[in-house]
Amino acid sequence: MKKSLLSLTALLLGGAFAVRGEKFSMSMPHWIADYHSLTYHGAGAPLNWGAFTDPKYGATGRRRIPSGTAVSVVDNKIVPADGAADTLLLFSDAQEGLASDSPSGYGLVVSGNVYEDRLPDATGMPARLPVAIRGKATRFYLQAFTPTYLE
């Protein structure tokens, strides 16, 4: 009862809650510009953890892929985007080896209005996706984040 009450309270307040020491955010990912513009890839897809070999994801068995990472679907599995297949965005964080993470698949965003400079794969000034990946992200409206509270 306590866990469900805690998660319900966090959901209502738009905060985060912890179960077994892991923190779960209940808010919308910061890279989404317009939630209602997003379209999703069916029921998602399972991750091919072996394909995520870049050290930025961490060591084998402890890899973490952040929400908004540019990915593709190859042979019905999620792999890092390389510009060879359509670019999709991972909707939520994925952590290898967590029992609480989805064994059947992770949500993928196929198109929509997103802040390109807030995506984890964006680099440079201004932050942009690599050219090959950006070229296959044609269904996204990629824009720069401009904080309106500074005006």
Mean pLDDT by 10 residues, the chain (151 residues): 46 43 63 93 88 93 93 94 94 86 83 95 92 94 82 54
Q: Which long-range contacts (CB under 8 A, 24 or more apart) does 117-123 make?
A: 117/144, 117/145, 118/30, 118/31, 118/68, 118/145, 119/31, 119/68, 119/69, 119/70, 119/89, 120/66, 120/67, 120/68, 120/69, 121/68, 121/69, 121/70, 121/81
**CA of 56: how far to CAs of 12, 27, 41, 122, in Å?**
33, 24, 25, 13
- 31-145 CATH, one of 1.20.120, 1.10.540, 2.40.300, 2.60.40: 2.40.300
CA dihedral 44, 48, 49, 53 (to 10 degrees): -120
* pLDDT at 150 (0 to 100): 58
Give the pTM: 0.78
Q: How is the chain split into domains, by residue range? A: 1-27, 31-145
